[in-house]
Structure 1
């Protein structure tokens, strides 16, 4: 892989991890808090709308595009382990792939799916919403920290001199 292509992939990954970290940070620090302050039916309805709206090309390029480039960087780091910065590449890539993508698919998406089928005014809605607010937000904190740590690690890899 050419140095320029590798640099471009690293840079895209850094920017993607940082962008995703920022989106998750916003949810952890004020979006979920604002939804919690609303009546449960209203909070549920808004979160259901958010979960539909988030499936768009811009978010998918940032979220999944970063996962693809991180996977490529993880493989590249293993193939060129002797290169300075390879450990940072591998660590940053794994932080994103496991701490962001895997956590999303394993924890946040199933909770979103459960929330999607509840009627906001149903008797079960309040209990589900209270559980959702605490658990979804907990896992979102994990995703935020992982994406931010991935950004830092990949940035350190970018700074490593090439042999």
Structure 2
């Protein structure tokens, strides 16, 4: 249909709405990651290593659920749809920053660390060293994920 027609008007409304929803989702995920970086991991680090490890192992099991997957992957899908409808530098950057900084880092950095922790016995010798290394490395990558989510949210709003 010609520009300004019914479909043109729908796209003009859909792209900003999708961008806003992508920004909201990315900010929510960023807030979740920020909470882990800011106080959850610090609280777990204050517990004896075996307790902290066991708590994080439990978190890593319960976090794998459809609601988290929708929240984690939803902003990427929404931002990509918005960028497809109304391509702009900000829209494309929102997709790239979220895909690489949130999903990419999660899959290549945080998940492998979680898998290593899952296989560990909190009561075995060496568990404390493993736990301290995990805390340091996982939290560092989590800071990056949080920052990428917040940056993507800002870019989606600017699109």
TM-score by length of structure 1 reads 0.86
Whether 1:31 and 2:40 are equivalent positions in the alignment is yes
CA distance in 1, matches of 2:153, 2:74: 15
* Deviation for aligned residue 1:56: 1.4
Larger displacement relative to structure 2 (47-56 or 6-15): 6-15
Deviations 1:75-112 (A, max 9, x none): x17xx55xxxx111111111100000000000000000
Deviations 1:51-79 (A, max 9, x none): 111111221111012222233345x17xx
Give the corresponding residue for 2:30. Answer: 21
* Deviation for aligned residue 1:9: 1.8
Of structures 1 and 2, the larger Rg is shown by: 2
Where in structure 2 are there 5+ consecutive unaligned residues? 1-9
**Which of 125, 129, 132 is equivalent to 1:130?**
132
Give the corresponding residue for 2:146. Answer: 144
Where in structure 1 are there 5+ consecutive unaligned residues? 158-163
CA distance in 2, matches of 1:152, 1:12: 12
Give the corresponding residue for 1:2. Answer: 11
Q: 1:14-163 to 2 correspondence within 5 Å?
A: 14-74=23-83, 76=84, 81=87, 86-157=88-159
May I ask how many residue pairs the two structures share in their alignment? Answer: 150
TM-score by length of structure 2 reads 0.88
